[in-house]
Chain A
Amino acid sequence: MNEDSKYYAGVDIGSVSIKAALVNGRRLMAYELVASGGSYRAAAQKVLDSVLAQAGLNPERLSGIVVTGLGNESLPFPARQISDISCQAMGCHYLFPSARTVIDIGGQFTKAAKITPQGRIADFLMSEKCAAGSGRFLQVIARILQVKLEDIGPLSLQSQKPVEFSTNCAVFAESETVSRIAEGARAEDILAGVHRAMAAKVAMLVKRVKMEPDVVLTGGGGEDAGLVKAVGDALGVKILVPELPRLSAAYGAACLAEIGQGTLNN
């Protein structure tokens, strides 16, 4: 079997969704994304089975797996593990060789990393103490407004007059949202206001890693065009977003498997 026919998989276990990517020579051959649900183990097996099925491969054709993210100790298959930020950095490096800063806005955490021209981590920060600036903030507000997550971005971009929130706290913003609705504020203006408040918090984190262009935004946040615009405005730079923003860490994990990185976990 020659090198060309070798396939590698990356599995990214997140708090909201579990992702898998299958690569061959860094080319993305298949991907899958499912809700994390109650069992990471079952969901991880499901995404891996799915990418293999999509590519029409037997499991033994897989030359290596790298797993990243949360709870990777309970996997049903042998895999090497690498931290999610290293996978994210490598994925972004291959997708955008000019990337020097990576912002990942996930369901619960927001991370900012400065990366080298080789796709290695130079500096890294994570916000885990406060929901402001995380995807959770948006979920809370979208629930009150009864707006579907995928509609948040397009709606926010229509805003002419973003609401100014007096608070950064997700809990206080929730009650402020209710007051603003009572005062007649429009959903798009509230969402654009939330995007601005979040972007301010994200920008603080990104500036602390001494941002350099180009800046890539990944994670579920990358699927929200309103948030991407607000972060770009707050940082004063153009933001690059992968075609599949939630898949970039899984893709990076698969690429790292291909170059033989990571330590075997079982």
Chain B
Amino acid sequence: MPFAGIDIGSTMTKVILVDQEEKILASIIGPTGAEHRHLALKVMEEALQKAGLTLEEFDFIVATGYGRISVPFADKQITEITCHARGIRSLFPTARIIIDIGGQDSKGIKLDGDGKVANFVMNDKCAAGTGRFLEVIAETLGIKLDQLGDISLKAETFVKISNTCTVFAEHEVTSRLSEGASISEIVAGLHESIAGRIVNMVRQLGIEKDVVITGGGAKNIGLVRAIENKVGFLALVPPEPLLTGALGAALIGHDFVRRGLRPDHERRRDGVTFFQ
């Protein structure tokens, strides 16, 4: 019998379905809209269809992410810190530090020898050091977000961006462009700046091998390289870095069932009909 994990982030909603052997049956990533509840159901239905399953067949459904309370059909809501840690423990048992770079926040999570959360730090107060910083600047430069990584790797040096604040950095980037700096050097400079901010934050936890980078930021090879340069060794990146929270959520559902917890199917159905 399968398990589902659903992770509603500020930018993306992720769903993963796993079987009894914790093998992935289906996964879906879609944008989080303003209407979390309808979207959660839509993305879930899409995943169910892909796996040829119905909601009733699931042994356990766990929701996570900042929109987790908007998933009425979930059996449990668990924080994303716990879910990320659980997902990473199954993918990389040697991981001690997780750096998660999301659309609207960035986090550092320290794991103990058993893969449990020992400590964490988070920035959700300021757009600098989050995906939003790169999103805003990519728009200013007229570049797609997923091209930033490759573009920055072409640079042999980087243009120092001295403003931390996204709003001021946007201005600075325009000035550097008008002074003739190349886009690749500017993008490399932006990665340098955001990596510095993130690594400084995570240093509070004490950086240890292995470091895993997750979230949308992990899909940016330029940013990953800049972080690796700062920590002084190579980092691990999951094959689909957006899905680790959802994976952890699904696995936690399995853990619950192993401990004898059973879902309330009636409550689950009510949750679905309420928002249909």
- Genuine A/B complex: yes
Query: Hey, which bits of chain A sit against chain B, CB under 8 A?
Result: 108, 128-131, 136-137, 140, 167-172, 175, 179, 182
Smallest CB gap from B125: residue in A: A169
Residue contact B167 to A140, C-beta cutoff 8 Å: yes
Whether A171 contacts B136 in the complex (CB less than 8 A), given A129-B164, A130-B165, A131-B168, comes out as: yes
Q: Which residue of the partner chain, among A136, A169, A179, contacts B34 with CB atoms under 8 Å? A: A179
Q: Enumerate chain B residues within 8 angstroms of A130, measured Cβ to Cβ.
A: 126, 164-165
Would you list 6 pairs from A and B whose C-beta atoms are within 8 A, ordered by A residue? A169-B127, A169-B166, A170-B127, A170-B166, A172-B104, A172-B127
- Cross-chain contact B34 with A131 (CB below 8 angstroms): no
Chain B interface main SS type: loop
Residues in A whose Cβ lies below 8 Å from that of B166: 131, 169-171
Tell me whether B165 and A182 are in contact (CB under 8 A). no
In this assembly, does B89 line the interface, its C-beta being within 8 Å of a C-beta of chain A? no
B132 within 8 A of A: yes
CB distance from B30 to the nearest CB of A (A): 18
Scoring B residues 114 to 150 as 1 if CB is less than 8 Å from chain A, else 0, what string do you get?
0000000000011100001100100000000000000
* A108 with B34, Cβ < 8 A, contacts A167-B125, A169-B125, A172-B127 known: no
Contact residues in A for B104 (Cβ distance below 8 Å): 172, 175
Q: How many of B's residues come within 8 Å of A, CB to CB? A: 14
Give complex CA distance A182, B168 in Å.
27
- Closest B residue to A140 by CB, please name it: B167
Which 10 residue pairs across A and B have the least CB separation, nearest first?
A: A171-B127, A131-B167, A171-B166, A130-B165, A170-B167, A169-B126, A131-B165, A169-B127, A182-B34, A136-B167
Separation of A137 and B168 alpha carbons in the complex (Å): 10
Residue of B nearest to A108 (CB): B168
Determine the distance from Cα of A131 to Cα of B136 in the docked complex, in whole angstroms.
14
The residues of B that contact A136 with a CB separation of less than 8 Å are 167-168
A167 CA to B165 CA in the complex, in Å?
14
Closest to B133 in A: A171
A136 vs B125: C-alpha distance when bound (angstroms): 18
- CB proximity of B217 to chain A, nearest CB, Å: 16
B residues 168-203 near A (Cβ < 8 Å) are 168
User: What separation, in Å, do the CA atoms of A246 and B133 have in the docked complex?
Assistant: 31
Report the bound CA distance from A140 to B136 in whole Å: 13
Chain B, Cβ-Cβ closest to A136: B167
**Min C-beta distance of A220 to chain B, whole Å:** 16
User: What residues of chain A lie closer than 8 Å to B168, measured between beta carbons?
Assistant: 108, 128, 131, 136
Q: Which residues of chain B are near A167, meaning CB under 8 Å?
A: 125
Q: Note all chain A residues with C-beta closer than 8 A to B165.
A: 129-131, 170
Chain A's nearest CB lies how many Å from the CB of B128?
Answer: 8
| List of B residues within 8 angstroms of A168 by Cβ | 125
Q: Which A residues are CB-close (under 8 A) to B133?
A: 171
Inter-chain contact B132/A171, CB cutoff 8 Å: yes
User: Using Cβ atoms and an 8 Å threshold, which residues of chain B touch A131?
Assistant: 165-168
Kindly state the separation between the CA atoms of A171 and B168 in the bound complex, as whole angstroms: 11
Query: Closest CB-CB distance, B181 to chain A, in whole Å?
Result: 18
A168 CA to B123 CA, complexed, in Å: 13
Across the interface, which residues of A come within 8 angstroms of B132, CB to CB? 171-172
A133 CB, min distance to chain B CBs, angstroms: 11
* Minimum Cβ distance to chain A for residue B99 (Å): 20
Complex CA distance for A136 and B133, rounded to whole angstroms: 16
Interface members, chain B 21-79 (any A CB < 8 Å):
34
Are A171 and B167 in contact, CB atoms less than 8 angstroms apart? yes
Question: Quick one: closest B residue to A173, CB to CB?
Answer: B127
B123 → chain A closest CB, angstroms: 10
Q: Which residues of B contact A129 (CB under 8 A)?
A: 163-165
User: What 10 additional pairs, Cβ within 8 angstroms, besides A128-B168, A136-B168?
Assistant: A129-B164, A130-B126, A131-B165, A168-B125, A169-B125, A169-B126, A170-B127, A170-B166, A170-B167, A172-B132
